[in-house]
Chains A and B, each alone.
Chain A
């Protein structure tokens, strides 16, 4: 799809604003899959800087009546991406079929299907899944106009996939047991014996494994092994995924947990401000302050090439980026989008975050091997 400058920028700006408003407004009652009411975020479109609007008007303006179909394999759950995919379908007239699953299972499915896969797009929760599918040669390179929207380190170096939203690794802590100043700036320091029995982690979780992969890249295998052994010696409580860690921290079962940043906000939404857990963003610039992406790529054998590209474009449009910012509490990757209230802005976070290419995070087998050697994984 080509980009044209709008002939009537004011009208176009109005249309975009209306769409953004409608998107946020519609999210609450009609779509059961949105996590929150949007009280705090309705005003957001007003603050969208005008230059962003001018760049991206085309998506909502070109709306053909019947635009064919699209098959999306989503490793992200319907609760997270269902509403925004529905908006895409509505805005473009494209009939979207989605298969939901966990990123690892969907990736395994794509590898098994190979060239016969009905999928056009793989929307993955973490870079590991994207890397596995890219390595199998199933992705087609993406055009520059899609890739250039996000910073280079949030996309594939071979142009095979692109980051859609950012997820920060944080330490969630219990507010009864700890104050922010009690917490170290570097994740290394959790190997200190004072954290014995107080840590929760989820070694089977894809995001955790991405963090360990980042450690291997930054620290090297030896130091990563030392860290893993150090944490093991502190007898951490093992969880299956991030959400139960946040729940356990809130309940006071453990004092701290290594998780992704956005789970906390869902608990705050369901339990209210009295929920006794908060996020601590590690500022040391080490692998503990990793920002990972959820991203997507286009399958080379997909039948709907143009629609797949439009899907990726839409996911990087202000409407979608704003959705991820305000509805799933993730970090928008396209500049100019406003993050949800209560979250440190990406620029601020980015300054203290680890500088790492997402593509360095796809050696999952090496990470699994290390985790098994240390005895963290069965």
Chain B
């Protein structure tokens, strides 16, 4: 505790708000001047010895498991027929690849346009009902895409609920078609923008207000400061959040299927549906390639800048919106209406209509328990597993750790069915006692969702300046003690955020659950799927609402605690 206090003190005292190269220069100049030589050597011994070994061992184990889908796909792709290769080389295949990449980029851009103003409004301004908007705006993330797209289609379709409501008063008999690219863009953006919102909010909250104050002091206007100081500072947050959004769009199957837009994931599913696993594998490898390209883009966006601050943690000054608060309120209201109220409203409508038609609710108790326990255990396990990876990636930047980071994300764009079949392959052939057990399901969730946990932890670790750990080491703590007493408390918000993300994505996960869960193990997501696939919408409403409500709880609690910590 004392050490932690000392570290906190140090944290306030030292300032390193510089980007990478500048900081190095600063250090060397400082070293040249006064700092004793022994301090310099402090940067080497941290994480040395057995904790370092253990760290590498844990990360290597993670990497091995994460490699399974890719290895499996390569094995399968080798058995692909010549016809499959020809299909691969058709121009149409590459048109689909281009179209998919285009959708992913458009969704990312549109999500940023929604998320950045929302983040700024809810963190930095005197927006009325700020706490409410903070809690509501990240929540669309809890809506499964196969449900969300269905709800949008049935609400906003040419003859959907909206049209039915408008027909009597306005005589509108048909709304414009939302299907195709616009529908896919609209749905995916509204379901995934919270990834950028969450990372942008975190970055804004921790940003050193001195930077903006200096800019204003030097004569820059509010806009100039935002564009020249704030926005560049958000780059890593936009990169990390944008990556998750883009990969979400790449891997998504439910929304693009319902919105009738042919993306590459649909091509892969078509192959699986005609029972051609080899061709599907060949195509899935392209998706991995596309992911690697996105990762390089993100790395470029992130640049070589470092964003750890040990400067003041005082809250930044609030911007008074004045009359601008009305358009701001309208904007927040519109986003929440479309992304949250509309889907939730349709679900409630289905539920009520079903109940009125005599649909029995049935017992969802056991299914709910299954969902929550699987999601909670995988949230904890996955985030713990992500810890060594994140520490290595942030604290031991090298070619090897960069490769490790790419590996973490490489399988993230794969459709769930490909990852699930990969684990079937290895489970059945090499780990039969484990096959189709609860542990296997947790492992599958880990492979699928580790990137989200690594992302959250990485962002948190980047904000903790190494000098804190170094000073604790210099005061005689072992690396493990340093981690437990200094680093862990500081990155706890990142840990809970990562765990909450894994929790809510595990709650809505479908393909791997269907294939890998212990037999007879049903979750809310499988219950929704079972009902929707046979057009029993009323019966789908209750489990879908439960997914939304239960996943909202941790999200809302995290946001509320943020507000308590930094009012």
Contact = CB atoms under 8 A, between A and B. Distances in A.
A39 to B, nearest CB: 11
B530 A78 contact: yes
A275 to B, nearest CB: 12
B371 to A, nearest CB: 16
A97 B436 CA distance: 13
Contacts of A206: 273
B533 A77 contact: yes
Interface stretch (B191-199, B355-363, B374-382, B387-395): B355-363
B266 interface: yes
A77 B363 CA distance: 18
Contacts of A104: 272-275
A79 B153 CA distance: 23
B274 A364 contact: yes
A368 B276 contact: yes
Interface stretch (A163-171, A262-270, A342-350): A262-270
A364 B87 contact: no
Interface stretch (A51-59, A60-68, A219-227, A246-254): A246-254
A217 B425 CA distance: 35
Contact of A108 (B153, B262, B272): B272
Contact of A113 (B272, B424, B534): B424
Interface stretch (B102-110, B114-122, B156-164, B447-455): B156-164
B530 A79 contact: yes
Interface stretch (A11-19, A145-153, A235-243, A288-296): A235-243
B362 A105 contact: no
A118 B353 CA distance: 40
Interface stretch (A29-37, A184-192, A331-339): A29-37
B151 interface: no
Given A98-B520, A108-B275, A378-B266, A37 B358 contact: yes
Interface string B243-266: 000000000000001101011001
Given A104-B273, A365-B276, A109 B260 contact: no
A114 B262 contact: no
B417 A367 contact: no
Contacts of A248: 157, 159
Given A104-B275, A116-B432, A238 B260 contact: yes
A375 interface: yes
Given A98-B519, A109-B515, A364 B358 contact: no
B428 A113 contact: yes
A181 interface: no
Nearest to B256: A240
A33 B535 CA distance: 12
B342 to A, nearest CB: 18
A240 B159 contact: no
Interface string B297-322: 00000000000000000000000000
Contact of A243 (B270, B272, B424, B534): B534
B181 interface: no
A248 B531 CA distance: 18
Interface string B496-537: 000000000000000100110001101000100011011111
Contacts of A241: 533
Secondary structure class of chain B's binding surface, majority of residues: helix
Contacts of A116: 428-429, 432, 435
B92 interface: yes
Interface residues of A, number: 61
Contact of A247 (B272, B519, B535, B539): B535
B537 A365 contact: no
A112 interface: yes
A377 B179 CA distance: 17
Nearest to B259: A240
Contacts of A266: 534-536
A111 B258 CA distance: 28
A253 B159 contact: yes
Contacts of B537: 270
A112 B277 contact: yes
B269 to A, nearest CB: 7
B17 to A, nearest CB: 49
Contacts of B421: 108-109, 112
Interface string B133-167: 00000000000000000000110011110000000
A377 B257 CA distance: 12
B538 interface: yes
Given A98-B519, A209-B273, A377-B270, 15 more contacts: A98-B520, A99-B514, A99-B519, A104-B272, A104-B273, A108-B277, A109-B515, A204-B269, A237-B260, A241-B533, A243-B534, A244-B535, A270-B354, A270-B538, A378-B266
Interface of B: 83, 87, 92, 96, 153-154, 157-160, 179, 257-258, 260, 262-263, 266-267, 269-277, 353-354, 357-358, 360-363, 417, 421, 424-425, 428-429, 432, 435-436, 511, 514-515, 519-520, 522, 526, 530-531, 533-539
Interface of A: 29, 32-33, 35, 37, 71, 77-80, 97-102, 104-105, 107-109, 111-114, 116-118, 128-129, 132, 204, 206, 209, 237-244, 246-248, 251-253, 263, 266-267, 270, 364-365, 367-369, 372, 375, 377-378
Instruction: In the A-B complex, list the 4 residue pairs whose CB atoms are closest, starting with the nearest.
Output: A32-B362, A243-B535, A368-B274, A378-B262
